[in-house]
Amino acid sequence: MQLGFLVVTLVAVFGLGANAEAWCPFGGVEAAYEYVTAGTALCSLGVSNFYILASVLLLTLLLRRVFCGYMCPIGSISELLFDAAKRLGFKPKDVTGTPDRILSLLKYPLLLYILYISWKAAELLFRGFDPVYALISRHGKDITMWSYVALGAVLVGSLFVRIPFCRWLCPMAAVMNPVPRFGLFRIERHGDSCTSCGLCDKVCPVAIPVSQVEVVNHARCYGCMECLEACPPKAQGSLTFGPKLGAAPLRLPQTGVIATILVLVTAAATADHLWPLPSFVKERGIAPAETAFVELGVSDVTCRGSSTGLWNFMQRDDEFALPDYLRLETWPGTDFARVRVIFDANSADAEAVRLAITTPVFTADGDWLVPDYRIEGYDPLGLKEP
Ligand code: SF4
Ligand code: SF4
């Protein structure tokens, strides 16, 4: 599962030029405030971030932090590196107990800081230091050296300590952690068959002392079932993963976990397909009784900033100005992004909209301002499409 999600992510980003950031659940957390208060998602985020965030939180409520154990690309790479380093003879550093608990607290102030700067500046300011963005971004765009430094530190650290970023620093983990406390499924240890061998403690990726508790209530449990796999055959039945159903605990097979993950991820993608709400909306004036709209593929609308640039360009006041009511909705993306322009049907038409977007403006400084924007399949001035 980890490899599958990792390969899909890398192929989508580097093979197909997809914007993986639009499917990051933490993007939904960062974008929520601006979307609710101003109707626009930050940067290149969109409603897909909210759909995947809802799916991940529901998964966490049902099955604990399975997003971390099965889906997150940085967690997968981190685990692969740790296992490879062990095979190559690196001596892993076991950080448990009080140091582990203290380090685990770091992610909470980091989350608050990220939300504070993102919501206050209405920009993804943390992106400049985000190791996950360095991994899944379209490199060369909006990326800083510091995010590569952070990614390098996480990768090198993963050679010596198991998933250090996930355990101690990940802000998405801080968002998820309160949820499993109300969750349905958990690991239970049944003392009558347990031999106290401690193998479950050794394999737990997040250092939970499974052999010392009856119920794993720890928020950081990944639901990865490595403890169940490690439990020796003679102690069969000592560990179960499921809801507590009186005296007969139910063991959910790992295929059930995987099926639930796939169903909820598919549900997020389906919701995005069925209800693709725009991630940028601007409106001028009061909607008249009769409006019309035109949908276009427009180049260079890759984020909130370029959507704002398009909106400002359309506010021109020359002979190509669009009079009266105007509303712009965009779905920022690569190549030609989807754009919908809604206008007063009595004072404009689709051709007027196209001209307003593509015709250069003569500015008060005496210069021609040539638009960055091109419309797919429309080139009245003989300019080349990008
Ligand atoms: S090994 Fe067991 S206790 Fe540890 S994270 Fe995985 S499922 Fe949870
Ligand atoms: S691996 Fe199984 S038998 Fe060993 S301590 Fe854990 S629950 Fe008990």
Reported as a single tens digit per residue, the pLDDT across 83-128 is 999 999 888 888 888 898 899 999 999 999 999 988 887 777 787 8
Please give the Cα distance from 228 to 335 (Å, whole number).
47
Section 205-234 average pLDDT: 91
Q: What confidence tier does 257 reach under pLDDT thresholds 50, 70, 90?
A: very high
Give the position, in ligand 1's atom list, of the atom nearest the Cα of 203: 1
Best residue among 100, 186, 226 to mutate for probing ligand 1, ranked by most atoms within 8 Å of CB: 226
Give pLDDT tens digits for 309-329.
Answer: 999 999 998 889 999 899 999
Under DSSP, is residue 249 helix (H, G, I), strand (E, B) or coil?
coil
Q: Whose CA is nearest to atom 8 of ligand 1?
A: 221
Cα of 189 vs centre of ligand 1, distance in Å, is 12
For residue 168, how far is its CA from the centre of ligand 2 (angstroms)? 26
Verify whether ligand 2 is closer than 6 Å to residue 198 (CB atom): yes
Percent of the chain with pLDDT over 90: 51
Phi, psi (rounded to 5 degrees) for 296? -135, 155
Which among 194, 216, 220, 241 is the best mutation to test ligand 1's pocket, defined by most ligand atoms within 8 Å of the CB? 216
- pTM to 2 decimal places: 0.83
Cβ of 197 below 6 Å from ligand 2: yes
pLDDT tens-place string over residues 140-183 = 666 788 889 999 999 999 999 999 999 999 999 999 999 988 88
Residue keyed to tokens 């002392």: 209
pLDDT tens track for 339-381: 999 999 998 999 999 999 999 998 888 888 888 888 998 877 6
At residue 38, the pLDDT reads: 80
- 145-166 b/e with 16+ CB inside 10 Å = b? eebeebbeebbebbbebbbbbb
Domains of the chain: 2-180+257-274 (no CATH), 186-250 (3.30.70), 280-369 (3.30.70)
pLDDT at 322 (0 to 100): 92
Burial 315-346 (b: 16+ CB within 10 A, else e): ebeeebebeebbbbbbbbbeebbbbebbbbee
